[in-house]
Amino acid sequence: MHVDGKCGARLAAALLAGLFVGCGAAAGGADGNVTQPAGMTASGLAVPRFVSLKADRVNLRTGPGTEYPTTWVFRRAGLPLEVVSEFEAWRQVRDSEGTTGWVLQSFLSGRRTALVIPWEVKPETPPPQVSIRHSDSDSARTVALVEAGAIANVHGCDGRWCSVSIDSYRGYLPQKNLWGIYEGEVVK
């Protein structure tokens, strides 16, 4: 991609800030700015928000387009990602480890999933286990033990506990043990 003087400087500054600003009339108005009202996104949905991957193979790119190089390939359908920005049909996402890049919107789903304590997964050590509870209480009986890093399907959250399923097990996990749900977020 070739950009000239003023537009190139604006594009470089925007990319350093983690944003994408189009250059030229094709990307927006005559001055090269993307023409969306303040606070609006390409999809009309809130940013940031959590989504999940639809496919087992999704390229993470350095920018919003197929002309940008692939830096990573996600290989886990259902993996939760956080959408942090949008440009046309592209979504800038962040994974649980903080890696950021762009993916095509058609590879993302609004289905809510979450990773179980991914921050506890350490190389060369067995992952810790977490109890899925029968009800939303620390004293409720254990339905199953799941390893850190497991993907949970989220059925609802009340701000403290989430109703989840992992494989054939269904029960409750503390919301603070999940990456893919915001602290205090209510999911219906």
Domain match, 22 and 1 both = yes
Tens of pLDDT, residues 71-120: 999 999 999 999 999 999 999 999 999 999 999 999 999 999 999 999 99
Which of 49 and 1 is assigned the larger pLDDT?
49
Residue where one domain finishes, among candidates 111, 139, 157: 111
- Cβ(174)–Cβ(131) below 8 Å: no
**Does 105 share its domain with 91?**
yes
As given in the structure block, the two tokens for residue 134 are: 């029968």
- The residue out of 77, 111, 145 marking a domain boundary is 111
Residue 129 has pLDDT above 50, yes or no: yes
Domain around 51 = 39-111
Looking up residue 54, the CATH number of its domain turns out to be 2.30.30.40
29 and 56 both lie in a single domain: no
24 pLDDT above the threshold of 60: no
CB 154 within 8 A of CB 188: no
- Do 60 and 24 share a structural domain? no
pLDDT above 90 covers a percentage of the chain that reads 77
Provide the token pair at 142.
């254990």
pLDDT (0 to 100) of residue 40: 67
Residues 131 and 173 in one domain: yes
Same domain, 119 and 83: no
Bigger pLDDT: 108 or 6?
Answer: 108
Task: Check whether residue 134 and residue 98 sit in a common domain.
Answer: no
Number of domains in the chain: 3
CB 100 within 8 A of CB 93: yes
Q: Indicate the pLDDT class of residue 39, thresholds 50, 70 and 90.
A: low
pLDDT of residue 3: 36
Residue 28 confidence (pLDDT): 34
pTM metric for this prediction? 0.78
- Under the banding of pLDDT at 50, 70 and 90, the label for residue 41 is confident
Cβ pair 92, 43 in contact under 8 A:
no
Q: CATH number of the domain that 134 lies in?
A: 2.30.30
